[in-house]
């Protein structure tokens, strides 16, 4: 689901003109959407994970997260579950998740 039009609309409503794209940061960060989407991540990604298998992603820098999603989408990086996750997220949703995860606390 891509919501580019919605993204621009929101940015305009807030009086903030961004250049768009998942890395555009600032006042347009939709942390509520990010929090909702992140509930999908926490079914598998343990914020207290230290071991093997599935990494912790809470606190991940947004540039790292966005790049990972792009790589899973393109196939440059491969895991069946993450390919499906990345394919199901539009640019606006990736941006919201990236913003939320970057600022989220490891404790829950």
| Closer to other proteins by Cβ: residue 30 or 102 | 30
DSSP annotation string for 68-87: HHHHHHHTSS--HHHHHHHH
Tell the smallest beta-carbon distance from residue 101 to other proteins (Å): 15
Tell the smallest beta-carbon distance from residue 23 to other proteins (Å): 20
Give the whole-angstrom CA distance, residue 54 versus residue 88. 19
Q: What is the largest CA-CA distance in the chain?
A: 44
Q: What residue ranges bind other proteins (CB under 8 A)?
A: 1, 6, 9-10, 13-14, 32-33, 36-37, 39-40, 42-46, 48-49, 51-54, 80-81, 83-85, 87-88
């Amino acid at each position: 689901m891509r919501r580019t039009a919605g993204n621009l609309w929101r940015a305009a409503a807030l009086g903030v003109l961004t250049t768009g794209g998942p890395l555009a940061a600032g006042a347009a960060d939709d942390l509520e959407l990010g929090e909702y989407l992140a509930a999908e991540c926490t079914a598998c990604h343990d914020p207290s994970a230290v071991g093997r298998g599935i990494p912790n992603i809470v606190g991940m820098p947004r540039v790292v997260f966005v790049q990972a999603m792009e790589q899973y989408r393109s196939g440059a990086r491969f895991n069946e579950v993450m390919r499906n996750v990345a394919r199901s997220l539009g640019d606006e949703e990736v941006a919201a998740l990236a913003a939320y995860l970057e600022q989220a606390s490891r404790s829950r």
